[in-house]
Chain A
Amino acid sequence: MWEYTDKVRDHFMNPRNVGEIENADGIGEVGSLACGDALKLFFKLDDAGRIADAKFKTFGCASAIASSSALTEMIKGMPLEEAEKVTNEDIAEYLGGLPKEKMHCSVMGREALEAAIAYYRGIPLPMAEGEVVCECFGVTDIEVRRAIAESNLRSVEEITNFTKAGGGCGKCHERLEELLREARHEVQQIIPDKRPTRLTNIQKIKLIEEVLGREVRPTLRKDGGDIELVDVDGDFVIVSLRGACGSCKKSQTTLKEYVEKKLREQVLDTLIVEEGK
Chain B
Amino acid sequence: MNTVYMDNNATTRVAPEVVEVMLPYFSDLYGNPSSMHTFGGQVGHAVDEARGKIASLLGAGPDELIFTSCGTESDSTAILSALQSSPGKRHIVTTRVEHPAVKNLCENLDKLTGHKHKVTQLPVNSDGTLDLNLYEESLSDETAIVSAMWANNETGVIFPIKEMAEIAKSRGILFHTDAVQAVGKIPINLSQVPIDFLSLSGHKLHAPKGIGVLYVRKGTPFVPFIIGGHQEHGRRGGTENVASIVGLGKACEMAAKQMQDENTRVKGLRDKLEDGLLASIPSSLLNGHKTLRLPNTTNISFEFVEGEAILLHLDRFGICASSGSACTSGSLEPSHVMRAMGVPFTAAHGSIRLSLSVYNTEAEVDFVLEKLPPVIAQLRAMSPFWQGEHKGKTGSSQCKCSCS
Contact = CB atoms under 8 A, between A and B. Distances in A.
B398 interface: yes
Contacts of B330: 101
B331 interface: yes
Interface in A57-114: 57-62, 64-65, 101-102, 104
A83 B328 CA distance: 32
B345 interface: yes
Contacts of A40: 384
A15 B382 contact: yes
Interface string B126-139: 00000000000000
Interface in B386-404: 386, 395, 397-404
Interface stretch (A147-155, A167-175, A201-209, A248-256): A167-175
B346 interface: yes
Given A12-B312, A58-B383, A58-B384, A37 B306 contact: yes
Given A33-B346, A36-B334, A62-B309, A168 B381 contact: no
Given A36-B349, A61-B306, A61-B308, A18 B332 contact: no
A38 B379 CA distance: 13
A229 interface: no
A32 B309 contact: no
A138 interface: yes
Interface string A16-38: 00100000000001001110111
B385 A33 contact: yes
A68 B350 CA distance: 19
A137 B332 CA distance: 9
A101 to B, nearest CB: 6
Contacts of B327: 36, 60-62, 102
A164 interface: yes
Interface string B313-325: 1001000000001
A2 B135 CA distance: 39
Nearest to B304: A59
Contacts of B331: 167
Contacts of B349: 33, 36
A117 interface: no
Given A33-B346, A36-B327, A61-B308, A136 B384 contact: no
A29 B309 CA distance: 20
B333 A12 contact: no
Interface string B366-389: 000000000000000111111000
B60 interface: no
B332 A164 contact: yes
Interface residues of A, number: 37
A39 B398 contact: no
A135 B400 contact: yes
A54 B395 CA distance: 28
B168 interface: no
A102 B308 CA distance: 12
A37 B382 CA distance: 12
A36 B325 contact: yes
B326 to A, nearest CB: 5
Interface in A152-180: 160, 164, 167-171
Given A18-B382, A57-B383, A34 B400 contact: yes
Nearest to B327: A61
Nearest to A29: B384
Contacts of B381: 18
B394 to A, nearest CB: 10
A102 B332 CA distance: 10
Contact of A65 (B309, B397, B403, B404): B309
Contacts of A13: 312-313, 316
Instruction: Specify which of B312, B313, B349, B384 lies most central, judged by the most chain A CB atoms within 10 Å of its CB.
Output: B384
Contact of B309 (A61, A138, A160): A61
Contacts of B326: 36
A39 B385 CA distance: 10
A57 B384 contact: yes
Given A34-B397, A34-B400, A135-B400, A160 B332 contact: yes
B332 A167 contact: yes
Contacts of A15: 382
Contact of A36 (B313, B316, B332, B404): B332
11 contacts: A12-B309, A33-B397, A34-B400, A57-B383, A59-B382, A59-B385, A104-B332, A135-B400, A168-B332, A168-B333, A171-B401
Interface of B: 304-309, 312-313, 316, 325-328, 330-334, 345-346, 349, 381-386, 395, 397-404
Given A59-B305, A136-B403, 4 more contacts: A9-B312, A36-B332, A60-B309, A102-B327
